[in-house]
Amino acid sequence: MNITGKLLCTAIAFAFASEAAATEWNVSVWGKRRAFTEHIHKLAELVEAKTDGAFTMNISYGGLSKNRENLDGISIGAFEMAQFCAGYHADKNRAITVLELPFLGVANLDEEVAVSHAIYAHPAVSEEMANWNAKLLMTSPMPQYNIVGTGDPRDELAEFDGMRVRATGGLGKAFSAVGGVPTSVTATEAYQAMESGVVDTVAFAQHAHLAFGTINRADWWTANLNPGTVNCPVVVNIDAYDSLSDAERAALDSSIDEAIGHYLANYGDLLTRWDSVLEEKGVQKVMLSDDELAKFKDAAGQPIHDAWIADMSAQGLPAQELYDLVFSTLDTVRASN
């Protein structure tokens, strides 16, 4: 073989070796790219840069799994990373549903990140997630949910009686407590449910009302109902995480805070322009009175908290400890500010 042939063979062998050494993760999310997924894109960008392209992520919007099945996909190793929402399958991720209790008093996205990551780090939470071969990586912080609806605004609690509302997890329990009829259709099904009259109202954070089009059917939006939010972690398959090289794992772990920071800045921009979005789409901003809000909190706050603690304790979880951790974390965050 001449020199040129040897060089060519060497180049091909090197290319195959490089390809074999590269790590590519498949990431399962749903819908379309939006504020809710920006931290995943930033994480992928940072990891690729830190590893000089040796560790990349293929982010798929619905091509790998349905949103209610992402945790199942992680458990069998169908993909390496995924996003899910606790309310989609509360029985599989009981411990983190403490973060979906209504009226916890979380005031902003920074506090939501702090309480979520404190809960994620609790040994009981890690142990439960390990049952699904899943490691909690980071949260997808969302502001307090509010509802959109058509027709006359519902600005009194009595008007929630019989109201069919798209709401999952603790939010669904909150609306049930005041006579609402919750349905847990997925985010991608919410517009159709609203259009067909399956639901009267939809509870979402601002980005989702935009991304899934419910704001386009709305006549009004409750600006200050603020009953709670949904917790949606990003998880990785434990085997895939453990299989990373030290350098790849360091690149991933060290990028989480910056990815969350990017998410918060991006979401902050959305919140800043939200009033102009409502004006542009002709959606009335509805404010409930303090008396109506107090009635809602009395009915759907502590009673639901107490029931959750009793139920989860009976199932063997350290429910009171998890519940207390939320509030001690809030105290710590607020003291540091």
Read off the pLDDT of residues 314-327 as tens digits, 9 standing for 90 and up.
999 999 999 999 99
* Per-residue pLDDT at 265: 97
pLDDT higher at 12 or 212: 212
Averaged pLDDT for residues 69-86: 98
Please give the Cα distance from 89 to 97 (Å, whole number). Answer: 10
Averaged pLDDT for residues 35-54: 97
Please give the Cα distance from 248 to 252 (Å, whole number). Answer: 6
| Residue keyed to tokens 């819908």 | 31
- Residue 27: count other Cβ atoms within 10 Å of its Cβ: 23
> What mean pLDDT is reported for the chain?
93
Q: Is the pLDDT of residue 180 over 80?
A: yes
Q: Which positions ≥6 away from 41 have C-beta within 8 Å?
A: 33, 59
Please give the Cα distance from 97 to 330 (Å, whole number). Answer: 17
How much of the chain, in percent, has pLDDT values that exceed 70? Answer: 94
Strand partners of residue 234 = 83, 138
Confidence category of residue 90, pLDDT binned at 50, 70, 90? very high
Averaged pLDDT for residues 158-163: 96
| Residue keyed to tokens 């603020």 | 226
* Per-residue pLDDT at 7: 41
* Per-residue pLDDT at 169: 87
Q: Is the pLDDT of residue 66 over 50?
A: yes
Averaged pLDDT for residues 169-185: 93
Confidence category of residue 311, pLDDT binned at 50, 70, 90? very high
Token digits for 110? 């920074």
Q: How many residues does the chain have?
A: 337
* Per-residue pLDDT at 71: 98
Nearest to 40 by CA among 149, 325, 32: 32
- 301-323 in b/e form (b: 16+ CB < 10 A) is beebbeebbeebeeeebbbeebb
Confidence category of residue 2, pLDDT binned at 50, 70, 90? low
Q: Is the pLDDT of residue 194 over 60?
A: yes
Confidence category of residue 185, pLDDT binned at 50, 70, 90? confident
**Residue 94 gets which letter from DSSP?**
T
Q: Is the pLDDT of residue 11 over 50?
A: no
Q: Strand pairing of 234-237 and 134-138?
A: antiparallel
Q: Cα separations (Å) of 274 from 66, 107, 266, 270?
A: 29, 17, 13, 6
Domains of the chain with bracketed CATH: 24-141+230-270 (3.40.190.170), 146-229+274-336 (3.40.190.170)
Amino acid at 237: N
Q: Is the pLDDT of residue 129 over 80?
A: yes
